[in-house]
Amino acid sequence: MRADEKSDRISRRAWFGYASALLLTRSAQGQAQSTEGTPLEDDRVSLSSMADVEGTLTPTDRFFVRSHHAQPRLSLKTWRLRVEGAVANPLELSFPDLVETSTRSLEGLLECAGNRTGLVSNGLWEGVPLSGLIRQAQPKEGAKRVLLQGADKGSLVPDMPESHYSRILPLEKCLAPETLVAFKLNGQFLPRRNGFPARAFIPGWYGMDSVKWLTRVRVLDAFDWPTVYYSSGMDLLYQRYVKFGTQEQITGRVAEIQVNSGFSFPPPGANLAPGRYPVRGFAWAGPHRVEAVQVSADRGNSWSPARLEGESRPFTWVRWNYDWTAPKGKHLLMARAQDHRGRWQPIRRDTTRTDGYELNWYPSVQCNVL
Amino acid sequence: MQRALILIPAVLGAGFLSLFSTAPFVPARAAVQDAPLLSDLEGPQSRQALARLQQFFRTVPDARVPAVLHEILEETTAAAAHTMILEEYQRRKLHAQGRATLEALNKEHPARAIYAIDLVQLAVLEGDLDRAKADLRSAAARFPNDTELHASLGRWLYGRQQTDLALAELLRAQRSGLNDPQTNLVLASLLARAGALEDAIDTAATVVFTPGLDPVIRGEAAALAGKSHAILRDEAKAVEFLERAIQLSPQVEDYYLSMASAYQQADNPAAAVQALKRGWDRLPGAPGIGQALSRQLLAAGAAEEAVRVLALLTSRHPDHGDALRLLAQAHRSAGDAAKASQTWRRLIRQQPRYPMANIFLAQSLAEEGAPPGQVLAALDRAEQISPQDADLYYLRGRIFNSLGRHQDAVAQLQRAIRLQPGFSGAYYQLGLAYQQLGQPELAQEQFRRRSHLEEGTGRSR
């Protein structure tokens, strides 16, 4: 495809991508507000609560779920993972082939790009490094990107043709040692709702790239632009949309998880007796370490350092706590985290952004001290 | 051709001859031709032959083990003998020598699957799972359709608690035509555990419908299919398979319980009770069924029937703490506080450190109208066991309020609130105490807190 054709294609579809991104984000947030902690009848969304986490791992049955399409029912007898495309030695792996390959375990956080609350969880993942499979398939010279495709299928917006959920990632990220084809979570085989029998796990990147129910890894060369990916509008999702005057433009792809934090105690709207309380929560910074967390009990007028419980590591979250002496009254507690590069969470949403992603401004929780 | 264990003198020397005393010391290859021992490993005398082999191993010095074991491994394909030899390598920490021997034999006899199995087993025994995986993949590449190889590896790995690898091997066996019902049952249970419920159902169904097979095994398979259907929310199919399981194996308590759960899940509590009653009639005194049935009866308001079930259960299992707890609750629900107190006392005699028992006894005594001194004594015992329990201070506060000891009540209720700040009932009792002490403002504050706590929750205590 020529460059001018590609830019023309994007401009014709910009309205569509923007509309579908908003639709998905609003749908997730609307459901999130009404269903804290409980799975919906719709199996595509289930929220997770940090209050359920003891230690650092979210219990498997409390892991958040956010999917575009209904969960496919896959048989271990027939499931295959194909590694193909611009490779010299295409592979087809059965489930036994995957299980009988050397694995790596990694504690890692998964966060939906549209998370404000409830769409983030942390688990111990076990799987086969994707780099090993791609190298075994021998990528051809010029291969730069990889399409990951799941078995789930549907229309991204009504009346559009059905397509398998898929994402295109840079080859470099797929060859990173931490990137896995995961088949276990917290020591158990993946639950169906989290991608059984195998999914991609892309540590440090927002969850949309960790394709669930993975069936296909297609290595792409410079001339390979998968038609369905572009015609379904998949390419226009998870982009940063920024308003410039009256115009909106895509300024880049959403990928790396931004520094963020959340409260696990007190719960929103808690009624407490006057006294001392350990305010608790988690902080994370994608592929970076968390440097510090601060808490404000006076609507952001003053900030005090919270204690990090243990050493912060890339890809996972760290627990923090803060001793708060709660006087009578209504209170708004706020938190903010800083990554080791010195980047703090923003105080508010960038007003020029019109998409629904990277919602990492200060979290807050309101409570009443009686 | 099978040769005899008697070849071993040539390798070892004559020192061990007392074990195999029928043979004179002669060079190995010549001596073994007519000796029966190695072939015995695969014949009707295999158990005795294995025992003699194990006994013999104890006499072999480390330095000679590789040569001896190499010969035996080459001469017999009896799986049990190979397993014993691998364990011998492990016992003597001779993994490297074992691996070298097996790799050599594997190369020498590429059509023999037994060495592929041995290599996997040796790696697992050694604790080297990455190597075991590589050996498994190699075996799969060389013998993709060898059902027995994959099935026996799967069974062995399952026995070694390597359930992921067992699942993988049994899936390979299934793909190449596995039809052994017991192995299929193992595979079905592994599939269910892995969350592949439809696969588990399909696999279990092949066992259920195998004619002539032991009904106990078919019953297990039917139950597994039924439970898997229940998880998939197909209660009708769940009941169908569980009914079959009960018919095939009516003595298994778990099947009635699973049937009741399936009905419960389908919002049919009456059918759940019927399933449990059926189980209770068939297996009177079965603890799981007795407890589940009595819970259902209590939930349905049939407390006296629950008392009858639990009385039988606790007479059969007098030490069953959960059943005693349920019996006390059933007596209470049936309006017999005296018998409830009696049952709590029985439980306290059995489990004096059970923290809640004295609190429940105190509650029961209060309901019975027992003298406050008895109630307070029970609470004192509870405090010794579990001093951080808000319920006991709350209950003590209530008793003090009822006795007119309002100042004492305030202290107890404040302690309950310190331990459990959201305890709305404690605020209410505290408000009552302040009211009686002539402090209406303080009383109103407690009532307001209670209302605030219960606002929107619909809770009250």
What is the chain B residue with the closest CA to A328? B449
Q: Are B414 and B433 in contact (CB under 8 A)?
A: no
Tokens of A297: 């009990």
- How far does A192 lie from chain B, in Å, by closest CA? 7
- Rounded CA gap, B224 and B252, in Å? 13
Pairing mode, if any, of strands A329-339 and A364-369? antiparallel
- CB contact, 8 Å: B191 with chain A? yes
Residues of B in contact with A268 (CB under 8 A): none
Q: B421 at the A interface (CB within 8 A)?
A: yes
pLDDT for B317-345, tens place per residue?
A: 998 999 999 999 999 999 999 999 999 99
**Ranges of chain A with pLDDT below 70:** 1-42
| A273:B418 CB<8 A | yes
Mutation target vs B (from A100, A101, A186, A193; most B CBs, 10 A cutoff): A100
Q: How many CB pairs under 8 A join A and B?
A: 65
Q: Which letter, b or e, does each residue of A348-363 get, where b requires 16 or more Cβ atoms within 10 Å of its Cβ? A: eeeeebebbbbbbbbb
Contact B449 A101 (CB under 8 A): no
The pLDDT value recorded for residue B19 is 34
Measured CA to CA in angstroms, residue A141 lies from A168, A172, A226 at distances of 18, 13, 19
- The answer to whether the beta carbons of residues B397 and B429 sit under 8 Å apart is yes
Rounded-to-integer distance, Cα B201 and Cα B371, Å = 60
Q: Which residues of A194-206 are buried (b: 16+ CB within 10 A; e: fewer)?
A: bbbbbbbbbbbbb
Q: What angle do CA B202, B205, B207 make, to 5 degrees?
A: 125
Cβ distance B196 to A75 less than 8 Å, yes or no, reads yes
Q: Do B171 and A77 touch (CB under 8 A)?
A: yes
Please identify which residue in the block is written with the tokens 């809640």. B356
Contacts of A275 in chain B (CB under 8 A): 421
Residue in B130, B165, B199 nearest the CB of A99: B165
**Looking at the partner chain, which of A76, A192, A271 has a beta carbon nearest the beta carbon of B171?**
A76
Given this model, what pLDDT does residue A42 score? 55
Contact at CB, B196 and A196, closer than 8 angstroms: yes
DSSP-assigned beta bridge partners for residue A126: A105, A184
Q: Do residue A97 and residue B136 have CB atoms under 8 angstroms apart?
A: no
| Euclidean distance between CA atoms B197 and B191, whole angstroms | 7
Tell which of A99, A105, A128, A184 to mutate to test the B interface (max B CBs under 10 Å).
Answer: A99
Looking at the complex, report in whole angstroms how far the Cα of residue A306 sits from the nearest Cα belonging to chain B: 24
Query: What is the distance in angstroms between the Cα of B136 and the nearest Cα belonging to chain A?
Result: 7
What pLDDT is stored for residue A22 in this prediction?
Answer: 43
A364 in reach of chain B (CB within 8 A): no
How close does chain B come to A214, measured CA to CA in Å? 16
Interface check A275 vs B, CB under 8 A: yes
Do A101 and B133 lie within an 8 Å CB cutoff? yes
Helix axes B321-333, B337-350, angle to 10 degrees: 170
Task: Measure CB to CB from residue B171 to each of A95, A102, A275 and give the nearest one.
Answer: A95
CB proximity B194 to A under 8 Å: yes
A73, A192, A370 ranked by CB distance to B452: nearest: A370
Task: Label the pairing between strands A80-85 and A214-220.
Answer: parallel
Beta bridge partners of A65: A46
Alpha carbons A190 and A72: distance in angstroms, whole number: 14
Full-model pTM:
0.82
**Which residues of chain B register pLDDT less than 70?**
1-39, 455-461
- Name chain A contacts of B134, Cβ cutoff 8 Å: 102
Residue B315 has a pLDDT of 94
Q: In this complex, is the C-beta atom of A101 within 8 Å of any C-beta atom belonging to chain B?
A: yes
Cβ(B293)–Cβ(B308) below 8 Å: no
Cβ atoms of A200 and A269 within 8 Å: the answer is no
Query: b/e for B376-401, b at 16 or more Cβ within 10 A?
Result: bbbbebbbebbeebbbbbbbbbbbbb
* C-beta atoms of A76 and B196 within 8 A: yes
What per-residue confidence (pLDDT) applies to A39? 35
Query: What is d(CA B17, CA B12) in angstroms, rounded to the nearest whole number?
Result: 10
CA distance B371 to chain A (A): 34
Rounded-to-integer distance, Cα B390 and Cα B419, Å: 6
DSSP state, residue A69:
S
Bridge partners, residue A260, by sequence: A284
